[in-house]
Amino acid sequence: MAEERAGAVTMRGNPMTLVGPEIKVGQKAPNFTLVDKTMRPATLDQFKGKVKIISAVPSLDTPVCDMETRRFNEEAAKLPGDVQILTISLDLPFAQARWCGAAGVDKVTTLSDYRSAEFGKNYGALIKELHLLARAVFVVDKNDNVQYVEYVKEVANQPNYEAVLAAAKKAAA
């Protein structure tokens, strides 16, 4: 049975349980198999040799996730070319594609964890009570080592963009 961390985050003040281990800086990033916008499988291995900013969000169709993903899309233009931003949610790939088209988001790769919530369980970001991903950001270097972790304590809040971007730039240097 998967590890559970009761009260690890809150959703509008209500304590929530995260399923899976807490990822720590310095460990190898767990692999995952997700689904891209064309319904093809996507794995961590596909992004080998790149610095990855992995942004887990509950749903692109909510205001904070919308804001966060647009912000990362803007920031992507200022980052070195070997930095890849992945936004992962349990939204269906069709909904992610529609949202990106409507929002003009073209520099962030959206991936869906809808099939098995494997990413959520591997990265300790699956909210048990809601079957949604918690808001969390991981920076993973070119060798797939975790360089930065933030589980946003209150899911309705945004992550620390400055810290995320600084970690990504340092990993890309």
Catalytic residues: 65
List of residues 6+ apart from 136 with CB closer than 8 A: 55, 56, 123, 125, 149, 150, 151, 152, 159
The alpha-helical segments, DSSP class H, found in 104-160 are: 118-122
Q: Is 139 helix (H, G, I), strand (E, B) or coil?
A: strand
The rounded distance, in Å, linking the Cα atoms of 86 and 65 is 13
Q: Is 68 helix (H, G, I), strand (E, B) or coil?
A: helix
Buried b (16+ CB within 10 A) or exposed e, 91-108: bebebbbebbeeeebeeb
Cα angle, residue 23 at apex, residues 129 and 80 outer, rounded to 5°: 115
